[in-house]
Amino acid sequence: MKFLVSSKPLNQIETDAVIAFGFSDSATTEEKLIDKYFGGMASQLRQAKDFTGEKNKVRLVFPSGKGPRVVLAGLGAKAELKIESLREAMSAACQALKGLPVKTVSLLLPSLPKFSASDSSAALTEAFLLSNYEFVYYKAPEKDKTRIEELELISAAKSSQNAIRSGIKFGQILSEAVIFARDLGNHPSNVATPSHLAEHALELQKSHPQIRTKILHRAEIQKENMGALLAVSQGSDEEPKFIVLEYRAGRKSQPPIVLVGKGITFDSGGISIKPSDKMEEMKYDMMGAATVMGTIKAASKLKMPVNLIGLIPATENLPSGKAIKPGDIIRSRSGKTIEVVNTDAEGRLILADALDYAKKYKPSLVIDFATLTGAIVVALGDDLTGAFTNQENLLPKLKAAAETTGEKIWPMPLEKDYEQFIKSDFADLSNTGSIRYGESIRAALFLQNFVDYPWIHLDIAGTAWATREKPYRPKGATGIGIRLAIEFLKKFGK
């Protein structure tokens, strides 16, 4: 995709479409430009109520079949404008252009005092790239399909061109990382195996000079006494991998932030097998891993001055004659024993070993990303990530980051009284109890047994996968969490 920045007058544009935004309570300067060069078109559409500026409502006009098509996209009420409104309106505009023979698009950058030119351009670039994402690896190419190849951002203010360029760059880097994660999640589990994740992690080291990758294979995992990861993997013919990514661009004395990602490349449930309905979606049970890889990729491309470690326990969860069985007792890396009451509660097992491994970095913070529980989907739906933390003063910062990136989070409690439900009669811990209520909290409480540092646990089971089209998130893996993590890291410690 090619990006151009200019301050061309509209009669000089040569693109196939031009996008402009409008509010529901007032016309914008850009609409006036459309009026000036297209015979009062924007005002006429407003008068006819064909365009109202209502949030995410779009009108596309192709006046006489020549020149550019004009797309007007609604931002909603001016006073309620958020940076996310820009992404959503841009996504709606891209949707309107889908299927049309449009290769090049001009975008009239809205002049919004509320946001810097760089932030607006970044948001619009993200929405543009992420809306046009398609996962096409396994489909015969569609004949005669036109794809957008070029976006020209037009701003009358020549002085903001550098800011616009840096915004585009930021948006491109983040979108590339999100797309990288989406691809990992959309590949089927016969391709996206633990080894496949490891290969991509090694590839990150090759293409990003600041990233160091280390892969622990079975023997090293054994040496590390990661009994929980080994136990989950023992039903599978695929070798487990423990992936370590290091990106150190912060001060040497600065303790790192560790990102941990659940990397179950397929979750059948194991012997406690899942019902077959929607089981095919369980290829996305590695989106925590993809989020960690994508975040470190983006941080490195942005040259962020931080020290980051990524830890990814990766395995399949399958039933077989060798698989762990309900009632089995395993010894985790920490030394704590776990009774595996349900083999489908495998995420917390592999995370237990990773969270324990994280201790050796003496981290200032650990954030884990995990498609951990079906219960979080019941509680919060597919738009909100459940956020648990032992450091509640971090929540406002996380919420602020979520506000900016449009990846909503909702605080969840580490309710002490529920600890009784993960006690076992036979081992130090049970991986789930006999009462099936409050499972997301229980899972988080289980993880808490393996941390001794400031910690945030993000249960992304509902948000990592879209079963319905959402603005700039087509169906399938969403790549949620990467933009959130980068935004949070920008502010963390400040």
Binding site for ligand BES (CB under 6 A): 267, 285, 342, 344-347, 371-375, 377, 432, 439, 461
Q: CA-to-CA distance for 280 and 266, rounded, in angstroms?
A: 9
Closest CA to 482 of 348, 304, 356: 304
Which of residues 21 and 465 has its CB atom nearest to ligand BES in the complex? 465
Note whether 298 binds Zn ion by CB under 5 A: no
Which of residues 270 and 310 has its CB atom nearest to ligand BES in the complex? 270
> How many residues at the interface with Zn ion, by CB under 5 A?
6
Which of residues 256 and 313 has its CB atom nearest to ligand BES in the complex? 313
Q: How far is the CB of 440 from Zn ion (least distance, A)?
A: 13
Which of residues 251 and 436 has its CB atom nearest to ligand BES in the complex? 436
Which of residues 227 and 347 has its CB atom nearest to Zn ion in the complex? 347
Q: How far is the CB of 245 from ligand BES (least distance, A)?
A: 22
Q: CA-to-CA distance for 38 and 477, rounded, in angstroms?
A: 40
Let me know if 274 is a catalytic residue. yes
Q: What is the number of the residue whose Cβ is closest to ligand BES?
A: 374
Q: Of the residues 36, 165, 274, 397, which is catalytic? A: 274
Partner whose binding site includes residue 461, from Zn ion, ligand BES, none (CB under 5 to 8 Å by kind): ligand BES
Which of residues 102 and 318 has its CB atom nearest to ligand BES in the complex? 318
Partner whose binding site includes residue 319, from Zn ion, ligand BES, none (CB under 5 to 8 Å by kind): none
Q: How far is the CB of 428 from ligand BES (least distance, A)?
A: 18
Q: Of the residues 46, 55, 348, 483, which is catalytic? A: 348
Which of residues 22 and 270 has its CB atom nearest to Zn ion in the complex? 270
Q: How far is the CB of 382 from ligand BES (least distance, A)?
A: 10
Q: x/- string (CB under 5 A) for Zn ion, residues 243-282?
A: ---------------------x--x---------------
Q: How far is the CB of 420 from Zn ion (least distance, A)?
A: 23
Q: x/- string (CB under 5 A) for Zn ion, residues 334-353?
A: ----------x-xx------
Let me know if 359 is a catalytic residue. no
Partner whose binding site includes residue 326, from Zn ion, ligand BES, none (CB under 5 to 8 Å by kind): none
Task: Report the 3 state secondary structure along the chain.
Answer: CEEEEECCCHHHCCCCEEEEEECCCCCCHHHHHHHHHCCCHHHHHHHCCCCCCCCCCEEEECCCCCCCEEEEEECCCHHHCCHHHHHHHHHHHHHHHCCCCCCEEEEECCCCCCCCHHHHHHHHHHHHHHHCCCCCCCCCCCCCCCCCCEEEEECCCHHHHHHHHHHHHHHHHHHHHHHHHHHHHHCCCCCCCHHHHHHHHHHHHHHCCCEEEEEECHHHHHHCCCHHHHHHHCCCCCCCEEEEEEEECCCCCCCCEEEEECEEEEECCCCCCCCCCCHHHHHHCCHHHHHHHHHHHHHHHCCCCCEEEEEEEEEEECCCCCCCCCCEEEECCCCCEEEECCCCCCHHHHHHHHHHHHHHHCCCEEEEEECCCHHHHHHHCCCCEEEEECCHHHHHHHHHHHHHHCCCEEECCCCHHHHHHHCCCCCCEECCCCCCCCHHHHHHHHHHCCCCCCEEEEECCCCCEECCCECCECCEECCCCHHHHHHHHHHCCC
- Interface positions, 275-294, toward Zn ion (CB under 5 A): 285
Partner whose binding site includes residue 373, from ligand BES, Zn ion, none (CB under 5 to 8 Å by kind): ligand BES
Partner whose binding site includes residue 439, from Zn ion, ligand BES, none (CB under 5 to 8 Å by kind): ligand BES
Q: How far is the CB of 379 from ligand BES (least distance, A)?
A: 11
Q: CA-to-CA distance for 268 and 147, rounded, in angstroms?
A: 37
Which of residues 432 and 448 has its CB atom nearest to ligand BES in the complex? 432
Partner whose binding site includes residue 342, from Zn ion, ligand BES, none (CB under 5 to 8 Å by kind): ligand BES
Q: CA-to-CA distance for 434 and 88, rounded, in angstroms?
A: 43
Q: How far is the CB of 341 from ligand BES (least distance, A)?
A: 8
Residues that bind Zn ion (CB under 5 A): 264, 267, 285, 344, 346-347
Write out the catalytic residue numbers: 274, 348
